[in-house]
Amino acid sequence: MGFDLAFALSSVPTILGAIGTTLGVAFVSCLGAAALGFLFDMLRRIGGVVGLAIGFVIDFIRSTPVLAWLYFLYFVLPFYGIRLGSLTVGVLGLSLYYSGYLAEVFKAGIDAIPKGQSEAARALSLSRRDALIYVIAPQMLRNIAAPLGNYFVSILKATPYLAVLAVPEMLGRAFDIASETYRYTEPLVVAGLIFLVLALVISHGVKRLERRLLAVGAR
Amino acid sequence: MSTQSQSIVDIQGLNKWYGALHVLNDIDLAVASGACVVVCGPSGSGKSTLIRCINGLGSYQTGTLRLAGTTLGLNASETAAARRQTGMVFQSFNLFPHLTVLSNCTLALRRVAGQSRAEAEDIAMAHLEKVRIPEKAKSYPGQLSGGQQQRVAIARALCLNPRLMLFDEPTSALDPEMIKEVLDVMVALARDGMTMICVTHEMGFAREVADQVVFMDGGSIVDHAPVRDFFGPSGHPRSRLFLNTVLKH
């Protein structure tokens, strides 16, 4: 079974047609995971019972497969009267799953800021809020930019899981073509190459961003 | 003779424990307005802990601490107002690495004192000139030497026009050749009449500008003497032992 270049090229428009869904799902999921992860890390910092409980939740999320989350949200929640669309479930599942990882990113990003920074802010009589906005947050963003970018790539590569919910993302489209034509090689290779190019471009962008952030006010 | 009204800092019976460790043991200390007090002693003696209590970075369990006429901890807004009269310089500079030298200096002026950008920058530049580093206003802390960073940190603390400057081992993290440029700035500040409490082992600085020296050991003030007596032949035996080891270097 050879590789039919003409057939491969003819499958490109159909697969590329889903690039918006793939990127959109990845982007919204990444935002959701970041928001949830930040919330988890903040709650964990309360310590005590709340901190322990949140720590357990984070470990639990990270120790379960993404597919388990997607199936659970899609097939189990309706029994409890919660019926969500497949796209919503997909974004929700990816957000939840990656929030466990991003909580760790925020933890590392905040812990890496020397204690002296908030002490200096307090010594200058800055309010807690101002210290967070003008001193801590900018340094945290600099610390998390690179790992956040890398997780965006991971989330992007996890979007094909949504095929099990029939969300029309790129790999799903490629598989549809394959099923209709019984030619698997070309569409799968095309989809793989598109993912490869996306991941490389984003990684490169993240590296450049990281270099720029490090150049500004290098310690 | 420093009465309570003239003392900018008045500490009475201050005690602090870390668990069973008694880190500040019944500290009494009054610092008159305009005085320069050097606090020295072996590491772990409670020097840094003491000056961190003075501006509220550290807590204490018993005793009273009056700062600029306000007893700290009684009323939140009065405590905050009193703390605003102090500037602090740290051993590790603690400049904000993501902000330029100028922005480091203007941040509190704009957010705490509520000044406009132009006003804040004028004040900041005046202080950067005072510490002889105006040409670095647009640089980032990471582009400066340690001595330059510490001078910026002094300028940043001076911007809010404090009545009391606290120095926590300001030259301990510096290479020897940079110590002098920082000490020169501190000497000039003391000569200008700034009230200063300096935790430092720079005995030359103490001799040159300090009015009093406080010697701490094991959480207590062992010796508190006018600078002439402290270095004189009749000084406290424990201080003399310490001076002998410090001055050998």
Q: For A87-144, what is each residue's pLDDT tens digit?
A: 999 999 999 999 999 999 999 999 999 999 999 999 999 998 999 999 999 999 889 9
Interface of chain A toward chain B, CB-CB under 8 angstroms: 114, 116-117, 119-120, 122-127, 130, 134-135, 138-139, 142, 216-219
Task: Mark yes or no for CB contact B57/A218 under 8 Å.
Answer: no
Selected for mutation to probe chain A from B111, B150, B169 (highest A CB count within 10 Å) is B111
CA distance B32 to chain A (A): 21
Question: Which of B83, B140, B157 is facing A217, going by the closest CB pair?
Answer: B140
State the pLDDT at residue B6: 74
pLDDT in tens, A173-204: 999 999 999 999 999 999 999 999 999 999 99
The ipTM is: 0.90
Q: Does residue A4 register a pLDDT over 90? A: no
Query: Residue A127 contacts by C-beta under 8 Å, 6 or more apart in sequence?
Result: B111, B112
CA distance A141 to chain B (A): 11
State the pLDDT at residue B249: 59
Residue A199, Cβ density class (10 Å: 0-12 exposed, 13-18 middle, ≥19 buried)? middle
Chain A contact present for B128, CB below 8 A:
no
Question: CA A66, A88, A175: angle at the middle one, nearest 5?
Answer: 65
Q: B226 in helix, strand or coil?
A: strand
In A, minimum Cα distance to B99 occurs at A217
Question: Which of B86, B94, B143 is facing A120, going by the closest CB pair?
Answer: B94
pLDDT in tens, B27-72: 999 999 999 999 999 988 999 999 999 988 988 999 999 998 899 8
State the pLDDT at residue A216: 64
Contacts of A130 in chain B (CB under 8 A): 111-112
Return the DSSP state at B34: T
CB A56 within 8 A of CB A43: no
CA distance B158 to chain A (A): 10
Reading chain B (249 residues) residue by residue, the pLDDT tens digits are 444 457 899 999 999 999 889 999 999 999 999 999 999 999 889 999 999 999 889 889 999 999 988 998 888 889 889 999 999 999 999 999 999 999 999 999 999 999 999 999 999 999 999 999 999 999 999 999 999 999 999 999 999 999 999 999 999 999 988 999 999 999 999 999 999 999 999 999 999 999 999 999 999 999 999 999 998 888 888 888 888 888 765
Average pLDDT, chain A: 91
**Tokens 């959701």 found at:** A32
Contacts of B92 in chain A (CB under 8 A): 114, 116
Q: Token pair for residue B221? A: 């003030």
The matching CATH number, chosen from 3.40.640.10, 1.20.1090.10, 1.10.3720.10, 1.25.40.340, for A5-214 is 1.10.3720.10
So where are chain A's domains?
5-214
Selected for mutation to probe chain B from A115, A125, A139, A213 (highest B CB count within 10 Å) is A125
Task: Mark yes or no for CB contact A216/B99 under 8 Å.
Answer: no
Average pLDDT, chain B: 92
Chain A contact present for B96, CB below 8 A:
yes
How many whole angstroms separate alpha carbon A15 and alpha carbon A177?
9
Contacts of B67 in chain A (CB under 8 A): none
Contacts of B56 in chain A (CB under 8 A): 122
Task: Mark yes or no for CB contact B97/A119 under 8 Å.
Answer: no
Chain A contact present for B161, CB below 8 A:
no
Q: Token pair for residue A79? A: 């029994």
Contacts of A122 in chain B (CB under 8 A): 56-57
Calculate the alpha carbon distances from B27 to A192, B48, B62, B66, B123 in Å: 71, 13, 10, 13, 37
